[in-house]
């Protein structure tokens, strides 16, 4: 008999901030001493806080000892993500960082994540004025600025390929007004 279980796993706030900014194929989250997901089990990844939202589906790839052997860390591989449009969790009760979920509840919440969307080509750019003595020096300084400023201070510009007029600035993964003459209301 094959054991298949479904779980809801809360993404800690600091890890959630990173997941929204950088593309990863998987993530490691703390486990729970009372829950023991096994490789192959399905997972709803949920943000914590006052208004939790389902942001991804995944599958347990591995469980290994974390800080304490009572709560193994879980390696979860993403199978679908909706980071920009969290789905309501409805009747899902999250009383632990890792909670077993009834199959019917899992399916209802997972259905709220929607289906896979068609991929399209996007152009993403970061432009910085850099004073340097050579092209190679300018490139070194550019990467130093990108590394130092990062996504919290450095806007990235994104637009659909072929539609430059649709360009939008994003800071910390959220659309941000970069026009100094307009208020951010």
Residues 6 or more apart whose Cβ sits within 8 Å of residue 119: none
Tally helices (H) and strands (E) across the chain. Answer: 3, 11
Number of domains in the chain: 2
- 172 to 20, 21, 68, 156: CA distances (angstroms): 8, 6, 32, 9
Residues 133 and 162 grouped into a single domain: yes
Query: Contact, 21 vs 150, CB < 8 A?
Result: no
- Burial track 6-23 (b if 16+ CB lie within 10 A, e otherwise): bbbbbbeeeebeebbeee
Q: Which of 105, 50, 49, 97 is nearest to 74 (CA)?
A: 97
3-state secondary structure of 68: coil
CATH number at residue 14: 3.10.590.10
* Model pTM above 0.85: no
Asked if residue 107 and residue 70 are part of one domain, the reply reads yes
Do 94 and 138 belong to one domain? no
Residue 158 contacts residue 122 (beta carbons within 8 Å): yes
Whether residue 4 is predicted with pLDDT greater than 70 in this model: the reply is no
Q: Is residue 28 part of a domain?
A: yes
Rounded-to-integer distance, Cα 170 and Cα 153, Å: 10
For the stretch 103-126, pLDDT in tens is 999 999 999 988 777 788 999 998
Can you say whether residue 40 is alpha, beta or left, with left for phi > 0 and alpha for psi between -120 and 50 degrees?
left
User: pLDDT tens digits for 137-169?
Assistant: 999 999 999 999 988 889 999 999 999 999 999
Range of the domain at 166: 122-175
Confidence tier at 173 by pLDDT (50, 70, 90): confident
CA distance 4 to 172: 37
3-state SS, residue 100:
strand
């Amino acid at each position: 008999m094959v054991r298949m279980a479904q779980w809801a796993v809360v993404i800690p706030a600091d890890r959630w901030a990173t997941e929204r900014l950088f593309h990863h194929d998987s993530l490691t989250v703390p486990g729970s001493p009372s829950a023991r997901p096994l490789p192959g089990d399905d997972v709803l990844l949920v943000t914590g806080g006052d208004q939790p939202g389902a942001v991804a589906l995944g599958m347990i790839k591995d469980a290994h000892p974390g800080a304490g052997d009572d709560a193994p860390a879980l390696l979860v591989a993403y199978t679908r993500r909706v980071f920009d449009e969290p789905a309501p969790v409805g009747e899902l009760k999250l009383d632990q960082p890792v909670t077993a979920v009834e199959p019917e509840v899992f399916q209802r919440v997972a259905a709220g994540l929607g289906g896979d969307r068609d991929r399209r080509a996007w152009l993403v750019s970061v432009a910085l004025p850099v004073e340097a003595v050579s092209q190679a020096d300018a490139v070194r300084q550019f990467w130093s600025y990108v590394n130092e400023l990062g996504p919290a201070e450095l806007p990235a510009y994104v637009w659909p390929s072929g539609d430059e007029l649709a360009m939008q600035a994003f800071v910390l993964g959220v659309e941000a007004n970069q026009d100094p003459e307009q208020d951010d209301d």
